[in-house]
Amino acid sequence: MKTRIISSIVIIAPMLVFVLLGGIPLLVFCLALSAIGMWEFYKGYENAGVKAGKVWAFALLAALYVIIGVGEFTDLAPSTYTHLIQMWVFGTVFLGLIMTLIRKDHNILDGPVTSLGLLYIGYFFAHLVLISGIKRYHLLVWIVFIAAFGQDTFAYFTGYFFGKHKMAPNISPKKTVEGAVGGVLGATILSGLFGILVYIDRGEFFVHCMVMGFFGAFFGMAGDLIASAFKRKMGIKDYGNLIPGHGGILDRFDSVILVAPFVYYYILIFIRP
């Protein structure tokens, strides 16, 4: 546990700096996380006999962050920005499909896994930058980490002390129902406190932050379980060994991957209008 806590501090401290800086530094940070996460994902699948098109995948990842950089930090028309993102999604899916034609000796999953890594890791991670770029609401990017890490931390300690009923024994044997409840409550309370402290002059944000924390906790748990399910299919215990006590980047940020898109679209649909 000591190693796990120290590693969390070491990895989270620099992350907080990039989130505080926002803008280009956050974009570069998310690009780095995405690249490492995709590498771990593809290497894990190689263990199961699936070989992704890594060169093309990383080229498309770079293209995505160039598009986001231009769209967020220049005067590019919003409609053009949207169309470029849509073209990128099309290109990502097309790559996965065309790989089934251009590779002579291939696993039928090579192409789909290539596209999946780009969308699941690269595109979803990029929503942190998109949230940070929303004027007046950029501070809500913190809700992503509060919901994801708050749920994970409270679930860990609640499950450690009170856990009795297994939640998903075939996917993640250590997770318990009691831990899940504690994680959701913890994330909701922390998110509500954030809303009170940061948006003290806007009372309605207290409710919004609690709602995002509550549902964000479920997305965080889903992200964690999905990452664990992938690992079981790959036949590996951890995605890597970059972070002592945690494993790889995906082992630490698996919950953030799904919480970020949820928070972004919640802001666009329920707050920004």
Q: Which of 12-16, 80-84, 205-209 has the lowest mean pLDDT?
A: 12-16
The amino acid present at 61, given as its one-letter code, is L
Looking at the predicted structure, is the pLDDT value of residue 1 above 80?
no
Q: Which of 15, 224, 209 is nearest to 128 (CA)?
A: 15
Residue 248: the pLDDT is: 85
- What value does the mean pLDDT take over residues 246-273? 90
d(CA 166, CA 177): 6
Are the C-beta atoms of residues 176 and 166 closer than 8 Å to each other?
Answer: yes
Amino acid 37: pLDDT: 95
φ, ψ at 10 (rounded to 5°): -65, -40
Band (pLDDT 50/70/90 cuts) for residue 173 is confident
Phi-psi region of 74 (alpha: psi -120 to 50; beta: other; left: phi over 0): beta
pLDDT recorded at residue 10:
63
- Residue-level pLDDT at 167: 83
pLDDT in tens, 143-159: 999 999 999 989 988 98
Report how far apart, in Å, the C-alpha atoms of 233 and of each of 49, 68, 175, 229, 241 are: 11, 32, 19, 6, 19
Report the C-alpha gap between 7 and 35 in whole angstroms.
Answer: 20
- How high is the mean pLDDT of the chain? 89
Percent of the chain exceeding pLDDT 90 equals 64
pLDDT at residue 189 greater than cutoff 90 = yes
Would you place residue 246 in the very low, low, confident or very high pLDDT band (cuts 50, 70, 90)?
low
Tell the residue number behind the tokens 């926002």, with chain if given: 22
**pLDDT band, residue 163 (cuts 50/70/90):** confident
Element holding 176 (H helix, E strand)? strand 172-176
Q: Is 219 helix (H, G, I), strand (E, B) or coil?
A: helix
**Nearest CA-CA partner of 230 in 218, 247, 209:** 247
Note the pLDDT of residue 56: 95
Query: Quick one: pLDDT at residue 146?
Result: 95
For 220-238, write each residue's pLDDT tens digit.
999 999 999 999 889 888 8
- Single pTM value for the model: 0.92
211, 219 contact by CB (below 8 A): no
In tens, the pLDDT along 64-106 reads: 999 999 999 999 999 999 999 999 999 999 999 999 888 667 7
Q: What are φ and ψ of residue 109, in 5° steps?
A: -90, -5
Structure-block tokens of residue 240: 């890597």
